[in-house]
Amino acid sequence: MNRVALKMLFGDAAKLLGLVFGMAFSTLLISQQASMFIGVMQRTANLITEIREPNIWVMDPAIEQIDAVRPMRDTELGRVRGVPGVAWAVPFFKGQAVVTTETGGLQSSFVYGLDDVTLIGLPPEIILGDRESLRRPDAIAIDEAGYKKLWPTQPLTLGQTLELNDRRAVVVAILRTAPPFQTQPLIYTRYSQALVFTNNGRNQLSFVLARSAPDADPAAVAQAIEERTGLKAVTSDAFRWETMMYFLRHTGIPVNFGTVTLLGVIVGIAVVGLTFHMFVIENLKQYAAVKAMGLTNGRLIGMVLLQATIVGAIGYAIGLGLTSVFFEAVTSNPTSFFRGFYLPWQVAVGVGLLATAIMLLSAIVSLRRVLVIDPAIVFRG
């Protein structure tokens, strides 16, 4: 009877194409939007993720996420270093500056100031140049995408000069970084040099990056820092989640992506469900015929479920394949806006379960007509 079920399914090419297209489009829409939502959320905390050396971030108590900086006094660094359980602590500056190139190009950029001695916080993937070059006067490192924004027609070259708030800077290294939430050039330099470039006032220490002692619990050390200094101290993982949750609560990102994802679910239920129901209704005589031949309700259920499974599997595979092709195409360029986006396996599994639920629901709704059909309609002409 499975062969009969498959002949019924593949014999109606129009309905089969409609079912497969509906499931494929629904899968593509849901998986693509869900993956981009995850990618955008990860971008909000990419700076925290990329700075791997510290496991504790110390900041002003009012700060809720990485992009909202309230500078502290430089003396807070010494207080953090004096807390038991802290192996080391270094300053970290985060600010913004207007960049002007020799050709007159103008961009707003992020400026990150790293500890002058250790340069902790510099991304590990250096395309051109080296870490030690940052110790030169006026030296900066810039991310690859930012370089392309400032010099779009020129190849990656060291020695380019630019102005940061009317102060000369020389590119001595080009980095490949995790994409930021805001697509602006990322400039890395020494902490002391960053203060010269930005000149933000009396308090300039954005964060203190600390590492707990090998035998100490990072969360306990963070708690000790809060008690001893009155500052906010959280582990890197906790700060990353705080940042992502802040953007979830205070921006329209969840609504925008959620709306499109919901549209994909509606398309799947409406188009696939209704089309499959019509397919079953139009083939009621065939079901009645096999029922008249003595086929049990259990076997009839198996036939309908087999047809639903085939449609769901083909549509899901096509939709997931198109999603993979989309991300491969738009992320292959390292300077693309979409770089860093990908299809997580959790999304693929989740969409697969959703596709299964849609097809199962469609089959259940259609089965009622199949199970109550009178085999005698075959002989009524």
Question: pLDDT tens digit string along 225-249?
Answer: 999 999 999 999 999 999 999 988 8
Given the structure tokens 């590492």, which residue do they identify? 211
Q: Which amino acid is at 377?
A: I
Of 315, 330, 323, 329, nearest in space to 345 by CA: 323
Q: Kindly give the pairing relationship between strand 186-190 and strand 106-114.
A: parallel
Of 362, 364, 248, 353, nearest in space to 30 by CA: 353
Burial of 376 (0-12, 13-18, 19+ CB in 10 A): exposed
Please, are residues 235 and 58 in contact by the beta-carbon 8 Å criterion?
Answer: no
124 contact partners, CB below 8 Å, separation of at least 6:
52
Of 101, 176, 165, 167, nearest in space to 142 by CA: 176
Is the CA virtual torsion 30, 34, 40, 46 positive or negative? negative
Q: In this model, does residue 380 exceed pLDDT 60?
A: no
Q: Which amino acid is at 178?
A: A
Distance CA 285, CA 274 (A): 19
Average pLDDT of 258-265? 83
Element (H, E) at 59: strand 56-59
Sorted by where each begins, the domain ranges of the chain are: 2-44+252-379, 73-230
Burial 147-179 (b: 16+ CB within 10 A, else e): bbbbbeeeeeeeebebbbbeeebebbbbbebbb
Query: Residue 379 — pLDDT band, cuts 50, 70, 90?
Result: low
Q: In this model, does residue 378 exceed pLDDT 70?
A: no
Distance CA 320, CA 343 (A): 9
Given the structure tokens 């930021």, which residue do they identify? 180
Instruction: Give the pTM.
Output: 0.81
CA 246, distance to chain mean position in Å, is 15
Q: What is the DSSP string of 125-164?
A: -EEEE-GGGGGSTTEEEEEHHHHHHHSTTS---TT-EEEE
Distance CA 1, CA 274 (A): 24
User: Residue 326, SS3?
Assistant: helix
Please tell me which residue, 238 or 328, carries the higher pLDDT value: 238
Distance CA 26, CA 207 (A): 44
User: Residue 36, SS3?
Assistant: helix
Question: pLDDT tens digit string along 11-33?
Answer: 778 888 888 888 898 899 899 98
Q: In this model, does residue 61 exceed pLDDT 80?
A: yes
Question: pLDDT tens digit string along 288-316?
Answer: 776 777 667 777 778 888 888 888 899 99
DSSP state of 124: S
Please tell me which residue, 275 or 1, carries the higher pLDDT value: 275
pLDDT score of 314: 92
Burial of 38 (0-12, 13-18, 19+ CB in 10 A): middle
Please, are residues 228 and 100 in contact by the beta-carbon 8 Å criterion?
Answer: no
Question: pLDDT tens digit string along 109-148?
Answer: 899 999 999 999 998 889 998 999 999 989 999 998 888 8
Please, are residues 174 and 147 in contact by the beta-carbon 8 Å criterion?
Answer: yes
User: Residue 201, SS3?
Assistant: coil
CA–CA distance from 74 to each of 88, 90, 118, 205, 249 (Å)?
Answer: 16, 11, 17, 6, 32
Q: Angle CA(265)–CA(266)–CA(272) in degrees, nearest 5?
A: 90
